[in-house]
Amino acid sequence: DVNSNVLVARSTGDAQLDKAVWQWLSWDKNQKTKEQIERLLQNGEHKELRARLCCRLSFGTAGLRSAMGAGFCYINDLTVIQSTQGIYKYLERNFSDFKQRGFVVGYDTRGQVTSNCSSKKLAKLTAAVLLAKDVLVYFFSTYVPTPFVPYAVQQLGAVAGVMITASHNRKEDNGYKVYWENGAQITSPHDKEIIKCIEECVEPWNGSWNENLVDTSPLSQDPLKKICDSYMEDLTKICYHRELNMQSSLKFVHTSFHGVGHDYVQLAFKAFGFQPPIPVPEQKDPDPDFSTVKCPNPEEGESVLELSLRLAEKEDAKVVVATDPDADRLAVAEQQENGSWKVFTGNELAALFGWWMFSRWKENCSQDADVRNVYMLATTVSSKILRAIALKEGFHFEETLPGFKWIGSRVKNLLDNGKEVLFAFEESIGFMCGTSVLDKDGVSAAVVIAEMATYLQGQSLTLAQKLVDIYEMYGYHISKTSYFLCYDPPTIKRIFERLRNFDDPQSYPKCCGVYNILHVRDVTTGYDSSQLNKKSVLPVSKSSQMITFTFQNGCVATLRTSGTEPKIKYYAEMCALPGHSDRSVLEEELQKLIEALIENFLEPAKNGLTWRSA
């Protein structure tokens, strides 16, 4: 073998690394990524080779996600083939009818020329692995929103599905998101078991590299038209004011952030009876370089919404809706009376969606409908506003671990037990309106917000004014979320270990500056001081760091690591009871507490943390 001759001449002096290099050069058929490893070997860059070849991808809150490029811990042709072979092995063990029921494959529009890597190519290789094993594959003939994959899995009765996307991450990244037969993202133990299966069959099988199979195999089917039509039809189940929408004079601007959203949001508005929203021309078509924004995350607020806000002013449109590049999340901005723009946070939008979905249910439910059968859900780091609405209105509210995969699984479980779920969310602008899709969905959320704004306009109210009404009625919930970047995993570990051994070994902090701490919950270790048995009600999640502090003044603050990026995130919220509504006092108290939290617990200067760029 030519490659092994190269290796004999260039042994790294490390047997484990030599083996990994040999495997890569023997298995990788992508010339660009193969050359990246060969170049590192020729230049004697052993540290970089070790970083790329001596660790594997693991499942985070959104499946596998990493930079595109060569190496076993990067996203590339070879690691996608290996992951799919592992999934094939796992599904074959779990489903006797796997080959007949089939598997769904979707993709966004990401790509990297230097690695000859694109979402579509990775999707074709995913399909190839399965088609070569005689599995029926539903392969979307063009890019789709992420929610289309879980929706298709359920609609087509497939055993699972994969979406190739890195959502709103930086342009260098890509990812591999896996959905189970229930239409929800996989959770443990599936993820751990799949990783084991991947490790059992790392060498590509015959046929795994044949990306043309999607065009030639009789087992490859394109579900695009059927799924798109069916999705738009299902969407009308949460449309309550079609007549109003058809007559509305309100104008909307939509930006799809150089991603997949444009066509699908246009169709969704049509399904609700609206005129199409005005697209931002520079951002309407897919662009893997996201060339007009510094980062493709609409959550970053006004700085990345610049083009859409200026277009809205020019067109006299009062509301801007922004879907992230894979259209599973939604940002919303509204022009205020003084001409400035309010960009809503995820928690504020959830207050509006929660009020809307419940009030529509109440207005349209049958005589004998029981409010105690109704549920809403949120992740534990999100605002508790739904809890406040639920307490007053009589429905159920539940919390899950961070990540929509936990919400999706729990919602499926509730539906199977005859419950009705109206809405679920996570604060990072992820919303699920209705239950057609058991994942966050920016397409449906965009058109629901449009209908809500139209309805409110008929009552001479804006979204921002309605939000104040909701807080006046259910109690102010003021929250702030931000993050620090940290590229050094040992530093992150040290920060959290210090909190677990604060004044003494195995003791958590009793206060943070002048603020007394009432309770501590550590989901990483399973500890919760507020429970009689000191055990956390939420399942233990050892793979990520997450500690929540409840303060005597009613503030709840969480520190956690991101499952998809090198970030330490913090979340803090002050909840007031209805009637205790001096907003400025609450905001000031929250700001001071956050400053104390950062200074005492994160110590950014000492730990070399980079503050999120303002």
pLDDT tens track for 14-58: 899 999 999 999 999 999 999 999 999 999 999 999 999 999 998
The pTM of the whole model exceeds 0.85: yes
Q: How far apart, in whole angstroms, are the C-alpha atoms of residue 371 and residue 397?
A: 12
Q: What is the pLDDT of residue 9?
A: 46
**pLDDT value at 1 more than 50:** no
Is residue 198 within 8 A of residue 85, CB to CB? The reply is yes
Asked if residue 478 lies in contact with residue 506, where contact means CB atoms within 8 angstroms, the answer is: no
Listed range (17-31, 63-77, 267-281, 559-573) with the worst mean pLDDT? 559-573
pLDDT tens, 166-206? Answer: 999 999 999 999 999 999 999 888 999 999 999 999 999 99
Q: Mean of the pLDDT values across residues 220-244? A: 98
**What is d(CA 22, CA 452) in angstroms, rounded to the nearest whole number?**
59
Partners of 320 in beta bridges = 253, 333
Equal fold, 57-225 vs 229-343: yes
Which of 79-93, 517-531, 532-546 is predicted with the least confidence, judged by mean pLDDT?
Answer: 532-546
Task: Give the C-alpha distances (Å, rounded to integers) separating 386 from 346, 383, 582.
Answer: 13, 8, 20
Residue 46 CA to its chain's centroid (Å): 35
Q: How far apart are the first and last CA of the chain?
A: 53
- Which of 159, 149, 151 minimizes the C-alpha distance to 63? 149
**Domain-wise residue ranges, the chain:** 7-54, 57-225, 229-343, 477-611
Q: Which residues pair with 551 in a beta bridge?
A: 517
Question: pLDDT tens-digit profile of 265-287?
Answer: 999 999 999 999 999 999 999 99
pLDDT of 10 > 80? The answer is no
Q: Please choose, from the candidates 299, 246, 259, 281, the residue with its C-alpha nearest in 3D space to the C-alpha of residue 108.
A: 259
Position 3 pLDDT exceeds 60: no
Q: Residue 563's pLDDT is what?
A: 77
3-state helix, strand and coil shares in percent for the chain, rounded to the nearest 5 = 45, 20, 35
Q: Are strands 420-426 and 374-379 parallel, antiparallel or unpaired?
A: parallel
Region 228-246: what's the mean pLDDT?
A: 98
Amino acid letter at 124? K
**Which superfamily does 229-343 belong to?**
Alpha-D-Glucose-1,6-Bisphosphate, subunit A, domain 3 (3.40.120.10)
- CATH of segment(s) 477-611: 3.30.310.50
The contacts of residue 8 (CB under 8 Å, 6+ apart) are none
How far is it, in rounded angstroms, from Cα 553 to Cα 292?
43
Q: Tell me the mean pLDDT in the region 260-268.
A: 98
- The predicted pLDDT at position 581 comes to 67
pLDDT in tens, 117-134: 999 999 999 999 999 999
How far apart, in whole angstroms, are the C-alpha atoms of residue 314 and residue 312? 5
CA triplet 215, 216, 220: central angle to 5 degrees? 70
Question: What is the per-residue pLDDT across 356-412, written as a single tens digit (0 to 9) for each?
Answer: 999 999 999 999 999 999 999 999 999 999 999 999 999 999 999 999 999 999 999
Q: 528 to each of 49, 71, 407, how far by Cα in Å?
A: 42, 40, 21
Strands, E assignment, 354-476: 374-379, 396-400, 420-426, 430-433
Q: What angle do CA 395, 401, 402 make, to 5 degrees?
A: 105
Helix (H/G/I), strand (E/B), else coil: 36: helix
Hey, what CATH topology would domain 57-225 get? Alpha-D-Glucose-1,6-Bisphosphate; Chain A, domain 3 (3.40.120)
167 is catalytic: yes
Which residue's entry shows tokens 């919404």?
305
Contact 327, 283 (CB under 8 A): no
- 11 confidence band (pLDDT: 50, 70, 90): confident
Question: Looking at residue 6, what is its pLDDT?
Answer: 53
pLDDT tens digit sequence for 95-112: 999 999 999 999 999 999
| Chain mean pLDDT for the chain | 95
Strands (E), 238-284: 252-255, 278-279
Q: Cβ contacts of residue 434 below 8 Å, gap of 6+?
A: 237, 238, 357, 422, 423, 444
List, for residues 155-167, the tens digit of each pLDDT value: 999 999 999 999 9
Single out the residue of 145, 139, 80 nearest to residue 105, CA to CA. 139
Catalytic residue among 118, 167, 436, 479: 167
Q: Show the beta-strand stretches assigned E in 492-597.
A: 511-512, 515-522, 527-528, 546-551, 555-561, 567-575
**pLDDT for residue 613:** 58
CB–CB of 589/599 below 8 Å?
no
DSSP 439: S
Tokens of 469: 């009404």
Statement: residue 614 has pLDDT above 50: no
